[in-house]
Amino acid sequence: MTDPHESSAPLAYLAASEVMDQFADGSLRSLALVDVLYERMDAIDAPDTPVALRSIAAREQHARATAAERDEQRAHGVVLGPLHGLPVVIKDNVEAVGLPGAAGSTALLGRPARDAPLVARLRAAGAVIVASTNLSQWANIRSERSTSGWSATGGLVANPWALDRSAGGSSSGSGAALAAGLAPLAIGTETDGSIVCPASLNGVVGLKPTVGVVPATHVVPISASQDSPGPMGRTVADVARLFAVLSGTAPAESAPVRVAVAANWRTGHAATDDRFDEVVTALAAAGVAVTFRDVPQPGPEQGEDELAVLLAELVDDLSAYLADRPGAGVASLAEVVEYEDRYRAREQPYFGHDLFLQALATGGRAGTAYAAARARNLAWARETCLGPALEGVDVLLAPAYGPAWKSDLVVGGHPGPTSGATTPAAIAGWPIASVPIGFVHGLPIGAAIIGRPNAEWQILEVAAQLEAGVSVGFDRHRPGFTGPTRG
């Protein structure tokens, strides 16, 4: 299947920088672009369409009026900021006035939403919030048998490159919407892999900033120590533009970035690992200082400690968030469990909430296991793994994920081939990005780039060098929406 809405593709796949150029010269208006994007959503995203991408959770009810206002402001010489008139989609666990902010759960539908601070920053910079994106329900902390990209409110997100394959998670809809030409910019969130995974699988760029750099207030939480909202886009420059607004930072004066490659971090998928090696060779040939070193990999002990930390923090953080959320409804994790059991057919048709039950049993941060698990986890991630790996260099490079695996609601489970690069960065709270490095059997793959705290601009510089070397341009290579139709 070719692009099922080809007439809109030339506008839909413009990079944000190209959109801004056309806004500036008067050849494109924000309202016209928003209308094009909504027409594409009607054509390919809704459940009753042949593609049924299901990447969009809801449309922002004032988006067209906001876009018209941005056009009028620009006509009078007023530009609010670097995102003036640009359409942006945000993950459904981020609160924004005019959107549900439901985290994929019917338990939160109808609860009033506030503008999260990150959304306020977007609006202040002139962005037009056009929609929220579907996700793995509750950001994929609900069950060990979950299927990435499924939620009770939105169904299963498809991968635009192959509709029967996973869009990753938990920022599934954000990655798929970007790849499908439904928005030039998107917001995701990551606790461990939830931006990097969908970025890699959908062939887009994603950055999980250092924890705390982008405020997570009014974002449905999992873990205060690991949660981080971040920017996603089709190009590195677009992600940099969005990150500057979200973080309130700007790049320092450019300097050569030293790169270490985690030589033993492999996905196990031969074609992916071979392609990554080719990209590293090209990077070194372009004059980038590249060294190779073996880096400790997370094992069962680190995984168990991380899960213990996440579940304990989930009890405290999600319950506090729900109690503070305006409107009547569930006010704690225990009440979410009771609600989901009451409406089991709707909330648990394919898998349950075994991780929620485990979380309730932890006793939260006051439980007996939390403090020791967190201390061990941090010591391993920062002192044993990433500290030595980054000694004498600026960033660490590894393959991210192999090509997208097939979604399976019956059997469940996730993910497919991965190097595990997201886990040390997640535990440490350090930044990580994914940038496309090519295709394997027509499916995109990405490279992961890790840096020290607040090294986002160095990471983006290396990402731009990889992007330039690979020359993956999504105005030239667009997803084909292949595979079984889903309407």
**Burial of 425 from C-beta contacts in 10 A (0-12 / 13-18 / 19+):** buried
DSSP secondary structure letter of residue 43 = I
Q: Is the dihedral of CA 275, 9, 188, 103 positive or negative?
A: negative
DSSP code per residue over 347-414? H-SS---HHHHHHHHHTGGGSTTHHHHHHHHHIIIIIIIIHHHTTTSSEEEEE-B-SPPBP-TTT---
- Whether the bond between 47 and the residue before it is cis, its omega within 30 degrees of 0, is no
Phi, psi for 233 (deg, rounded to 5): -165, 180
The Cα-based distances of 44 to 50, 98, 103, 443 in angstroms read 7, 23, 22, 19
Q: How far apart are CA 411 and CA 308, in angstroms?
A: 25
- What pLDDT sits at residue 486? 61
pTM over 0.85: yes
H helical segments located in 114-228: 117-124, 172-179, 196-202
Where in the chain are all domains bearing CATH 3.90.1300.10? 6-298+379-470
Cβ atoms within 10 Å of 77's Cβ, excluding its own:
6
**b/e string for 19-29 if b means 16 or more Cβ within 10 A?**
bbeebeeeebb
- What pLDDT sits at residue 253? 85
Q: How far apart are CA 361 and CA 58, in angstroms?
A: 34
Of the candidates 454, 371, 444, 473, the one whose C-alpha atom is nearest the C-alpha of residue 166 is 444
Active site residues: 91, 170, 194
Q: Specify the CATH architecture of the domain 6-298+379-470.
A: Alpha-Beta Complex (3.90)
User: pLDDT tens per residue, the chain (487 residues)?
Assistant: 667 778 788 899 999 999 999 999 999 999 999 999 999 999 999 999 999 999 999 999 999 999 999 999 999 999 999 999 999 999 999 999 999 999 999 999 999 999 999 999 999 999 999 999 999 999 999 999 999 999 999 999 999 999 999 999 999 999 999 999 999 999 999 999 999 999 999 999 999 999 999 999 999 999 999 999 999 999 999 999 999 999 999 998 888 999 999 999 999 999 999 999 999 999 999 999 999 999 999 999 999 999 999 999 999 999 999 999 999 999 999 999 999 999 999 999 999 999 999 999 999 999 999 999 999 999 999 999 999 999 999 999 999 999 999 999 998 876 789 999 999 999 999 999 999 999 999 999 999 999 999 999 999 999 999 999 886 544 456 899 998 766 5
- What pLDDT sits at residue 475? 44
